[in-house]
Structure 1
């Protein structure tokens, strides 16, 4: 095993687990012509994790996955599987299997034969082969479809066959490249639950690539957020959602309100901020700040409470004045879009915990308020 370098800044903020490192990427880069697809990424995936790489189209996440699989070779850096450097090792000699969005099933083979394919290639025969295939068809709840061809199955069933085939060969690592991307919304949610159950039952390390923020939050033990070939943040789902490290993460994962502000002082554990239209804006102090420093502050819409002019927010809360512009009833909640001084807008999600006869009133002046514990400081507003 080679010596492991220090943590990448984005990765270093993530508390380590006690499990051994299954996949280690150290200073990995990949270029195509004049474009850098993956830019100096260091990342560790631990044994038994369901780890997701999340980012928009073109951010480099699939290229990263293909390098781990051996389909692409990095221009720089090291890729280790179970501590062994895999750069230059062909895909068939890596203890890795991949599940693709397109399923890639053999159309002329039955479900049973598709699942048995990789097991047979490992030299497994007779009773052990039947037992292995049977167990994996049962795992994905398709035992009754063993004799069918892929064309006789639904999209969700075909994807489950692809997962069973990949797992039946017993890889240390399963790579999944947007495997639910071709399914409709309802089926995607069903398959998400199935993937969680399967991963818990088999204990295989899953490295999952997706552009779907909700999917990553639901499925993952940890998430790496990528943008333009670089790591923006690595953390547990609640970390990247509740405490985004950068402006990109705050805007990409869910809906977030971002305010450009200036540091006006420090009061104990609080950083006091000033911004147009703000009565009070503060955040928990982390690290060093200086008076007059430009920063970006963010708060999630579901943390924001709305008050009319007669209402009084709790003492010490952040308070901002504005005018309701749009009101959208979404069933579970009502979304309020509020114009604030300086030409910006903030959004508040108000839970519909009682019958709603009047969804709201555009043009109404309101005060938006929230607990300052939910204010998160991001990178400099000048960056």
Structure 2
């Protein structure tokens, strides 16, 4: 994994983009390092594609500065940026063979003859399409067409490859196959990938680091495990995976722990991780469903765990795991996931009272309503 002390490939400094009275990107500052597979993740309309288009040069920022390899790119046209883009729509030339599609950008750089054949051959081998070199795009599957688009973009030798939801048009099985292929390709070529997606699982699987966007702003930037295990805001907790969110008040501080009061919960506390809270402060705390264990009322959870008693409302079998929706005091509903290592009926059924319990290490403080 590239470290964050590697040279900065992309530097965004207060980048803003407005369309009439709408702000699509709002003051984003971000650094992407050389050799990273960096993903920008967010829902439709959050501004992630607009951000990508500004980096590519297809849109110009209203304010702020965009640097590529330390050089200010504002006002520089796309063809003068050492960047290529892979689109969801593939954008292949239908009248050209696979070989000629891959060769297109290389030829535009003046490469001819033996060197051209070498570069095209290497990139067809990279995406494992050597045997399809003479075919037209219409004779390929969607996944094969996307691999041609990736080979064409990489063959021109850009410093930065931008990928705008490139797997969005593929079915679920093919998406997973192409995710593995993209990871392999990026590792082999070492090119910086900046990847835009709305698919949370895709971002977690592919990325060295992730930037989560919402309503034109950055909510959190971090490694996948940090963004998932320690979401910074309500939005991140709710958008990436499933989260149980409890509204609470700070009742005290004990060393590195915040002691919390929430309806029906005993022993609720959360690691502070250098955060400062005050007595009586309103906060939100979250715990992931897979961290929550269900216990019968006569089965005591481990000492020191956070415990909440409720009633099972729904049981949903998902194959690998079973999802339990539990009604708890205060009118809220919490969710627990259990691996299917035992029969579903053994773990709880609708109407059954249960204890939900979790290790307080897995409680995460979110933003405060008082902040």
TM-score in terms of structure 1 length = 0.95
SS, match of residue 218 in structure 1: helix
1:370 aligns with 2:358: yes
- The answer to whether the Cα contact below 8 Å between 1:318 and 1:371 also exists between their aligned partners in 2 is yes
> Where in structure 2 are the equivalents of 1:1-383 lying within 5 Å?
17-285=4-272, 286-356=274-344, 360-381=348-369
Deviation at 1:17, TM superposition (A): 1.3
- The answer to whether the Cα contact below 8 Å between 2:83 and 2:160 also exists between their aligned partners in 1 is yes
* Separation in structure 2 between the aligned mates of residue 373 and residue 249 of structure 1, nearest angstrom: 19
Aligned length: 369
Name the Cα RMSD after superposition.
Answer: 1.2
* Separation in structure 1 between the aligned mates of residue 200 and residue 118 of structure 2, nearest angstrom: 37
1:117-153 CA distance string (max 9 Å, x none):
0000000000000000000000000000000000000
- The answer to whether the Cα contact below 8 Å between 1:19 and 1:46 also exists between their aligned partners in 2 is yes
* Separation in structure 1 between the aligned mates of residue 350 and residue 35 of structure 2, nearest angstrom: 50
- The answer to whether the Cα contact below 8 Å between 1:177 and 1:210 also exists between their aligned partners in 2 is yes
Gaps of 5+ in 2: none
**Which ranges of 4 or more aligned residues in structure 1 deviate by more than 6 Å?**
none
* Separation in structure 1 between the aligned mates of residue 114 and residue 165 of structure 2, nearest angstrom: 34
TM-score in terms of structure 2 length = 0.98
Deviation at 1:359, TM superposition (A): 6.3
SS, match of residue 23 in structure 1: strand
* Separation in structure 2 between the aligned mates of residue 135 and residue 362 of structure 1, nearest angstrom: 58
